């Protein structure tokens, strides 16, 4: 508790007492007004003060009190609120006549609201993290950690109250810190010894794409050039640019990265430039097969640049796309019809040869589900050699 006449020889002593008072009384105090020693000296240059006091006057109020809040809102954000409840609590200190201590001259120890440990722990100042706990939280959020699990971790480890909004604010702050310009990224890439970095621009000298390949990636490609995997990822970088990952499969059946493309647009011109860079720096004469997602824009560019390779769609992407596109909402199907169609299409995917393929294709047509048949014929039937024959090849090798 504070009493009139209490004296403090330094501001740090006062701050420590305030901190203890807050934790024991479950009251959050804010500074309402203050006057620094520098300001007081300007008014009375001959006066000598204890520099450790920092202030000649300082008033504290409850976080739910202080000056009456007057909103300037025009009603455009109606759900905003404040902690202020015009609480009468106040604590006022001023410097002694000799300027050596801060003394309490007024205390109003009354509140007009509930005071509890739970309410106190939910105040923003008490939820604020710092030091090692903040560093750990930033690390977890920087790798896309689940916010509810991060929240649970903080509660269990530190016993601190933290809201999902607090974690979102920290996550946003991390993003602001980590924003990297294209020029900075290119500079960092070029620092890597032996790396190939090619930046493409359009006719207006505007950046369009980056081709990146390290020396070790080149060596890996030279050892395993027969099968190339191309996949794009989105929302993986703070530049908001699609990242294409080019991989090969090594002798252990593991995928290995051999090049990266960072592109602004996925149009034919951009993809063509990236393929030109890849062909320029990698001998593609031994490439036998290229697997790419069917959703990849301008897939035909791949076959134009590497005509000797067969273009395939992997089993995972094929089945995933069917499940994603053949839905009750998109094609106006009942749940039972969707299950039937997906069963037939699964048989098409695993067909061993043309005869077996057309057997199941006929079954699909016999469903008389026009929307499904039109979707299949438009998007899949004419490129069937890219997605079902690879499975037929697997069956043959097993036989």
pLDDT in tens, 311-324: 888 888 888 889 99
Q: Work out the percent of the chain whose per-residue pLDDT is above 90.
A: 45
Cβ proximity of 327 and 338 under 8 Å:
yes
Of the candidates 1, 3, 2, 105, the residue with the CA atom closest to the CA atom of residue 56: 105
Q: Is the model's pLDDT at 391 over the cut of 60?
A: no
Gyration radius from the chain CA atoms: 34
pLDDT, tens digit (0-9, with 9 covering 90-100), for 182-224: 888 888 899 999 999 999 988 888 888 999 999 999 999 999 9
What pLDDT sits at residue 139?
82
DSSP run (H or E) holding 232: strand 227-233
191 vs 299, more confident: 191
What pLDDT sits at residue 177?
59
What pLDDT sits at residue 143?
65
Find the range with the poorest average confidence among 15-19, 117-121, 172-176: 172-176
- 261 CB-contact burial (10 Å; exposed 0-12 / middle 13-18 / buried 19+): buried
DSSP 53: G
* 3-state SS, one letter per residue, for 285-302: CCCCEEEECCCCCCCHHH
260 vs 395, more confident: 260
Report the distance separating Cα 352 and Cα 376, nearest Å: 19
Strands 102-108 and 227-233: what pairing? unpaired
Q: Work out the percent of the chain whose per-residue pLDDT is above 70.
A: 88
Confidence of residue 395 (pLDDT cuts 50, 70, 90): very low
Q: Where are the domains of the chain?
A: 7-114, 128-178, 182-312, 317-398
The mean predicted confidence, pLDDT, of the chain is: 86
List Cα–Cα distances, 357 to 287, 349, 362, in angstroms.
27, 8, 9
Q: Which two tokens stand for residue 157?
A: 């480890």
Confidence of residue 85 (pLDDT cuts 50, 70, 90): confident
Neighbours of 344 (CB within 10 A): 18
Report the distance separating Cα 259 and Cα 195, nearest Å: 10
142 vs 35, more confident: 35
User: Which long-range contacts does 22-27 make (Cβ < 8 Å, 24+ apart)?
Assistant: 22/120, 25/1, 25/115, 26/115, 26/116, 26/117, 26/119, 26/120, 27/62, 27/63, 27/89, 27/111, 27/115, 27/120
Neighbours of 273 (CB within 10 A): 20
């Amino acid at each position: 508790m504070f009493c009139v006449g209490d004296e403090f020889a330094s501001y740090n002593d006062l701050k420590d007492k305030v901190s203890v008072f807050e934790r024991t009384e479950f009251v959050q105090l804010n500074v309402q007004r203050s006057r620094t020693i520098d300001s007081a000296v300007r008014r009375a240059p001959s006066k000598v003060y204890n520099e450790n006091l920092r202030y000649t006057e300082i008033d504290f109020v409850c976080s739910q009190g202080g000056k009456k809040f007057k909103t300037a809102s025009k009603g455009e954000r109606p759900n905003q609120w404040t902690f202020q409840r015009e609480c009468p609590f106040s604590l006022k200190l001023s410097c002694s006549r000799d300027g050596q201590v801060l003394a309490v001259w007024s205390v109003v120890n009354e509140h007009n609201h509930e005071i509890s440990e739970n309410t106190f722990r939910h105040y923003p100042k008490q939820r604020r993290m710092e030091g090692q706990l903040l560093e750990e939280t930033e690390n977890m959020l920087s790798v896309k950690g689940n916010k509810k699990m991060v929240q649970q971790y903080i509660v269990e480890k530190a016993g601190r109250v933290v809201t999902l909004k607090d974690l979102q604010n920290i996550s946003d702050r991390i993003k602001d810190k980590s924003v990297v310009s294209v020029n900075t990224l290119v500079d960092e890439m070029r620092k890597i010894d032996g790396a190939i970095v090619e930046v493409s621009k359009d006719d207006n000298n505007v950046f369009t794409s980056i081709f990146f390949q390290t020396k070790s990636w080149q060596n890996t490609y030279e050892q395993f050039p027969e099968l190339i995997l191309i996949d794009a990822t989105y929302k993986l970088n703070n530049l908001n640019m699609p990242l294409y990952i080019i991989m090969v499969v090594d002798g252990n059946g593991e995928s290995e990265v051999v090049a990266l493309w960072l592109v602004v647009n996925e149009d034919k011109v951009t993809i063509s430039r990236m393929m030109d860079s890849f062909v320029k720096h990698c001998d593609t004469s031994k490439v036998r097969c290229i697997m790419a997602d069917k959703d990849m824009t301008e897939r035909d560019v791949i076959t134009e640049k590497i005509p000797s390779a067969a273009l395939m769609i992997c089993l995972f992407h094929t089945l995933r796309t069917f499940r994603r596109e053949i839905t009750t909402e998109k094609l106006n199907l009942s749940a039972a019809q969707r299950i039937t169609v997906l069963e037939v299409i699964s048989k098409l995917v695993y067909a061993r040869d043309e005869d077996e393929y057309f057997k199941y294709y006929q079954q699909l047509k016999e469903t008389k589900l026009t929307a499904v048949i039109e979707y299949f014929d438009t998007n899949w039937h004419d490129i069937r050699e890219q997605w079902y024959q690879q499975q037929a090849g697997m069956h043959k090798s097993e036989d």
